Amino acid sequence: MEIQAMRFARWVFLAAGIYGIVVIAPMYFLEGAQAAQGRPVSHPELWYGFAGVTLAFQVLFLIISRDPGRLWPAMVACLVEKISFPAAVLPLVLMGRTPWPVAVFSAIDLVWAVLFFLAYERVRKLPA
């Protein structure tokens, strides 16, 4: 059971880190494309700040994937990271301030949050 819990946590955090880097890293090159679509970035410090902090968390996911048994307390911060985006998007969509496709995209983070929680629960219960 211990080996399965560790293997699950490793794969979840490795996959999340790789997926996140693939999705977030291009943001550094998309500001011009946003402007070309008629949606200029009005606060570039928020755009690049979001990209940087989110990218840093992807690195944390990769670090946790190397040793989830020792780093399981950091999984709590990872859960907060995965829940914060959909928690912000849902009210914005309901108020009509954000389009529905963004809500669908944010739901991916909810799936990762569930997987992170399962990994956390499995690893947390292992003997030290």
How many Å apart are CA 117 and CA 123, to the nearest integer? Answer: 10
Percent of the chain at pLDDT above 70?
99
How would residue 39 be classed by pLDDT, with cut points 50, 70 and 90? confident
How many Å apart are CA 80 and CA 40, to the nearest integer? Answer: 29
Which residues have CB under 8 Å from 64's CB, separation 6+? 9, 13, 71, 74, 75, 78
Which two tokens mark 73? 């307390």
The whole model's pTM is what?
Answer: 0.92
Which two tokens mark 64? 């946790």
Judge whether 63 and 71 are in contact, CB under 8 Å: yes
How many Å apart are CA 97 and CA 76, to the nearest integer? Answer: 29
pLDDT tens-digit series, residues 50-96: 999 999 999 999 999 999 999 999 999 999 999 999 999 999 999 99
User: Domain tally for the chain?
Assistant: 1
Bigger pLDDT: 105 or 57?
A: 57
Range of the structural domain that residue 71 is part of: 2-124
End-to-end CA distance of the chain: 14
pLDDT given at position 2 = 86
